[in-house]
Amino acid sequence: MNYTQAKQLLAANGQQQLLEYYEELNEEQRASLLSDIGKIDFSVLENLHSEYSKTLGKLSPADALSVEDIAKDKEEYEKLGLAALRAGKVGAVLLAGGQGTRLGSSLPKGMYNIGITRTLTIFEQQMNNIKQVTDKAGCMFHLFVMTSDLNDAATRAYFKDSNYFGYDPSKIHFYEQKLAPACSKEGRIYLDQKYKVSMSPNGNGGWYSSLVEAGYDIFLKSEGIEWLNIYAVDNVLQRICDPVFIGATIKSGCACSGKVVKKVAPEERVGVLCKEDGLPTIVEYYEMPPELAAMRDEDGQLTYRYGVILNYLFSVDVLNKIYKDKLPCHLAFKAIPHIENGVRVTPSEPCGYKFETLAVDIVRLMGSCLAFEVVREREFAPVKNKTGVDSVESARELLKLNGVKL
């Protein structure tokens, strides 16, 4: 894209401010800015005016396999799951395209050191968790790692330098998700630097469409991969390709399944797996009507008690049918560094919007979902913040509880 084309494109979209400092830039910076402008998907800005606001249908609690139910049939599920793994029918997808802004590190979130007396990064801890499964199954599964343009090179280099944590490198596949522009409250796209448009990852909802765009749908087919287990980078107790979970899902006949934990309190900040107009859905904590969140069964348990932990198993067949369907776009109001009056500012308070689609919204499109309850202290140690709730501190305590030496 040359300067004249960029100018016309920006004028047509009311975003001329992106060329405000063009005259000050050197040749290389100019080329980089023009290339950025050529890549902007302006259509996401339409969501600013028609902000997605969820009007909930008729909610009812999800049927779930409880920890007790699972214990009864554990052997059968495990056998089924191990057989599927050994037949190469299951792969995993690590969602590592996020920025981890709350953690305040510029490195990929998975490179964060949660060790105390030794270095133990989140990536390494999760690969250790995987090893427990692959040792038991006696084989490795294909692992897809979703990154973004902002952390792809660093993530790949870290895996390589770490010798892929002993995993077979031919079974690890990196691919990039898309970015979306970030803008002010008024919808003016920010400059991150005078020569760089402010772009951020467009949410984890595009994990499958980006996989397809990278050409991996053909690979999944040729390898006979029927199930994909997606998981978040920020849970250090994440059990990946858990054979019992896989077996229970296959047996259930559902198109997908999600690991859930019992919420500790009505106001806990986790999405809840339930049914909306008969379809499986995840209602985010900020969308859940407080009276429903607080509702209790006769035995005193929360009626809407199953919180999701971003560990889902999806049928590839069903994904192929629905992945082109439009997902709602969520607006995340965040503190976004940007250029203001010629100076780069790093606001401490939210100032503008990022646009994201979410993987949880795919669950509804799948049509059926098994809620699979796991023991929280064994499988859920999210690292979202540096201190306090869901933090490095709380995750360390949970790792120790699970016998991990820090």
Q: Which residue, 109, 98, 97, 94, is CA-closest to 386?
A: 109
- Binding ligand UTP by CB under 6 A: which of 61, 91, 100, 271? 100
204 touching ligand UTP, by CB under 6 A: yes
Sole binder of ligand UTP in the list 124, 152, 176, 234 (CB under 6 A): 234
The residue (of 37 and 358) whose beta carbon lies closer to ligand UTP is: 358
What letter does residue 402 receive in the DSSP assignment? T
379 binds ligand UTP (CB under 6 A): no
User: What is the smallest separation between the CB atom of 351 and ligand UTP, expressed in angstroms?
Assistant: 15
Q: Is the dihedral of CA 237, 120, 177, 37 positive or negative?
A: positive
In the complex, residue closest to ligand UTP by CB: 98
Other residues' Cβ atoms within 10 Å of the Cβ of residue 129: 21
Supply the minimum distance, in Å, between the C-beta of residue 89 and ligand UTP. Answer: 24
Q: Please tell me whether residue 177 binds ligand UTP under the rule CB under 6 A.
A: yes
Alpha helices in 316-405 (DSSP H): 316-322, 360-366, 376-379, 392-401
Q: Are 122 and 110 in contact (CB under 8 A)?
A: yes
For position 99 contacting ligand UTP by CB under 6 A, the verdict is: yes
Does 236 bind ligand UTP (CB under 6 A)? Our answer is: no
Q: Determine the Cα–Cα distance for residues 374 and 259; give it in Å rounded to an integer.
A: 7
Beta strands in 286-351 (DSSP E): 306-315, 330-334, 338-340, 343-345
Query: Which among 98-106, 116-124, 220-228, 290-298 is the span making contact with ligand UTP, rule CB under 6 A?
Result: 98-106
| Site for ligand UTP, residues 383 to 402, rule: CB under 6 A | 384
Nearest to 96 by CA among 87, 84, 107: 107
Q: How many residues bind ligand UTP (CB under 6 A)?
A: 20
Collect all residues with Cβ–Cβ distance below 8 Å to 31 and sequence separation of at least 6.
none
| Footprint on residues 18-77 left by ligand UTP (CB under 6 A) | none
Q: Considering the rule CB under 6 A, would residue 146 count as an interface residue with ligand UTP?
A: yes
- Residue in 37, 81, 85, 109 binding ligand UTP, rule: CB under 6 A: 109
Report the residue number, 48 or 139, with the smaller CB distance to ligand UTP: 48
Given a contact cutoff of 8 angstroms between Cβ atoms, the answer to whether 74 and 126 are in contact is: no
Residues 6+ apart with CB under 8 A from 131: 165, 166
Residue 65 or 95: the one with the smaller Cβ distance to ligand UTP is: 95
DSSP letter string, 44-100: GGHHHHT--------EEEPPEE-HHHHHHHHHHHHHHHHHHHHTT-EEEEEE-----
Closer CB to ligand UTP, 201 or 266, in the complex: 201
Min dist CB 395 to ligand UTP, Å, is 13
Instruction: Indicate whether 232 belongs to the interface with ligand UTP (CB under 6 A).
Output: yes
Q: Tell me which of 203, 247, 271, 352 binds ligand UTP, using CB under 6 A.
A: 203
Binding residues (CB under 6 A) for ligand UTP: these are 95-102, 109, 146, 177, 201-204, 232-234, 310, 384
